[in-house]
Structure 1
């Protein structure tokens, strides 16, 4: 079996390293636009099954050339290339696991094309979107009547420093989207669009995390897929106390706007300017991070009000020498790619993870996550 990994940044390199450990996979091609990034990836993976390939990844044609003849691909690319990669995978008849969950309606519109090509496209297959999605879907499956599903997740620094108490562990582009995009959720069984940074609440996680705050962010595919199965559904993103308020002020003042503006002789956008200013403020005291996750699904089970709760507090992985965010994002994608390659997943079309890792596949997938170091705890509570 041949798997192609598109992009050899931090998460892409982790996907390559993890997939290379699977006996079922024969060849892994790590593709990037920069030879330096590929060389680093090959050094970290340290596995003869991994080969590197420098290639342009800008257009559908570029990516389709790379995917020809491969069994499965994992896209670890910027948001702007997600839809491009999906179209390329369909064109080259290669299954694709994509880490990006945005533009779901545009992706699901390609369902028939993917099905006719005989390939499976899974968008949003990381930690959030990804793990949170199928936990919420499974929780709903375990109830006779689902009242509410809340998916809570966030990447936070192990050693936070002022003024923002946050550090970027992947793309700042993706992070800033949280502060500016309206959030799709489900209320009373209907899709709703909520203002950015709404629903601020205090929340606590086990040590070493402690007190945090969460706001409602975009639920991506989950809202569309599960709206007919649950009355209310929200995704929330976690930060340390005070962070959201400061970012909200920047948003209100227009520093995160995308409209071009002229500063002297230079034309730029407030957001591009803000990225330059904020980037050094989000480096952090160390590269150690924490990923927190909690999914709560409540409703009726056997005539009783019940809540299913899954929780994860994942720390920087010293053994692998990678961030928690890289690990918890890459490993679900790596497992999913292997399951497609070995026919444990046989659907075709554009199908989100919450429609795949449920029922009989759910527990085996969670157990494999646990074996690879992504430990998710579960409990059931009876509600009064």
Structure 2
């Protein structure tokens, strides 16, 4: 793939905040594809050393707010792969310095704060650029938009171990803090044409996809800004997380009956001490829109099953592969002016065709559900 800048031009500096699993995947994808000058920053020196040894990429050890601001100032863009509670503070810095901002947060309150911040921003502030929220909003908006009158849009996504173990039938493939947050916070939906919220873990439903049994239930944040976009234009809109059968009941016991939703640090310690991480995971996506077109009731669907990959000799799990691809696509589409150049940008502002044609987003192009 060619670089974004003319030959001989200085490359735009992109700062990746966070040298963990997702930050590493973002760095590898951008390094391999080319087109940007990259810097990875983190407060964890050991993580930076590992990433530098792997890639040779320049790094910055950032231990306080002053050091963070010095890294952000003067950059073209910041890709924030830090925990969700760092989203609004980093976005504030980027807005102050006119730097484009992208993150992966599933936290609704953080996104609302960034939307408010973006009203007077000179740069793009684009949160929720991962898988869900993120790509699922792009494909969901496209499916519903194919209908003359949209009645329902149902979005289902799971990041699952390929070889599940234990009662939870789950492995830690994502931020534990983010996982707990989406299991505890209220979930936005559209019901009877109006925005509302439902409790996390509600709405349990069985799913059978390609002969494999799953369950799905409401979790927070997966819809991104779709409820604002589609309120009054669609009767039913919801997002549910896909898990193997039995997972939701086990989490209900921990969160509700044992009241660990009130002791999140303890729950995080318990989960990380008892549940192994894995690189052998799979992303399962099922999106379906139903409504009227040319006077007939029709359904438009998208389905995908995505596994991990290897890049520059490094194994990327499926959640690393898909999450990094999504945020890198958003960066590319802003860089090539396929998106607005300032203010708040929601995921559904990306055209699905542009997303799938991108050098990173093409991993989602299954050939299914395309018009």
Instruction: Return the TM-score normalized by structure 2.
Output: 0.89
Give the Å deviation of 1:317. Answer: 2.0
Alignment of 1:190-339 (within 5 A): 190-206=194-210, 210-218=212-220, 219-258=223-262, 269=263, 271-283=264-276, 286-318=278-310, 320-339=314-333
CA distance in 2, matches of 1:377, 1:256: 42
Please, which runs of 5 or more residues in structure 2 have no aligned partner?
1-11
Give the Å deviation of 1:369. Answer: 5.9
1:84 aligned to which of 82, 89, 104: 89
2:22 aligned to which of 4, 11, 20: 11
Alignment of 1:14-93 (within 5 A): 14-25=25-36, 27-46=37-56, 50-56=57-63, 59=65, 62-93=67-98
CA distance in 2, matches of 1:235, 1:371: 21
Number of corresponding residues: 354
CA distance in 2, matches of 1:237, 1:345: 29
For the residue of structure 2 that corresponds to 1:220, the secondary structure is coil
The answer to whether the aligner puts 1:149 opposite 2:141 as a matched pair is no
CA pair 176-365 structure 1, distance change in 2 beyond 3 A: same
CA distance in 1, matches of 2:54, 2:217: 36
Give the Å deviation of 1:232. Answer: 1.1
CA distance in 2, matches of 1:67, 1:341: 17
Across the aligned residues of Structure 1 and Structure 2, the Cα RMSD in angstroms comes to: 2.0
With 176-185 and 155-164 compared, the bigger mean Cα shift is at 176-185
CA distance in 2, matches of 1:338, 1:322: 21
CA distance in 2, matches of 1:256, 1:239: 20
**Matching residue of 1:131:** 135
CA distance in 1, matches of 2:360, 2:41: 28
CA distance in 1, matches of 2:90, 2:44: 18
CA distance in 2, matches of 1:380, 1:351: 24
Give the Å deviation of 1:280. Answer: 3.0
With 330-339 and 79-88 compared, the bigger mean Cα shift is at 330-339
Residue-by-residue CA offset, 1:129-180 (whole Å, 9 max, x unaligned):
0000111111122111111111110111011001210011121111112322
Give the Å deviation of 1:353. Answer: 1.2
Give the Å deviation of 1:375. Answer: 3.9
With 231-240 and 363-372 compared, the bigger mean Cα shift is at 363-372
CA distance in 2, matches of 1:340, 1:380: 24
Instruction: Return the TM-score normalized by structure 1.
Output: 0.86
| Aligned 8 A contact 1:3 1:72 in 2 | yes
Residue-by-residue CA offset, 1:89-126 (whole Å, 9 max, x unaligned):
10111001111142222221122121xxx200111001
The answer to whether the aligner puts 1:99 opposite 2:114 as a matched pair is no
1:365 aligned to which of 339, 355, 359: 355
For the residue of structure 2 that corresponds to 1:309, the secondary structure is strand
Give the Å deviation of 1:377. Answer: 4.0
Alignment of 1:157-168 (within 5 A): 157-168=161-172
Please, which runs of 5 or more residues in structure 1 have no aligned partner?
259-268
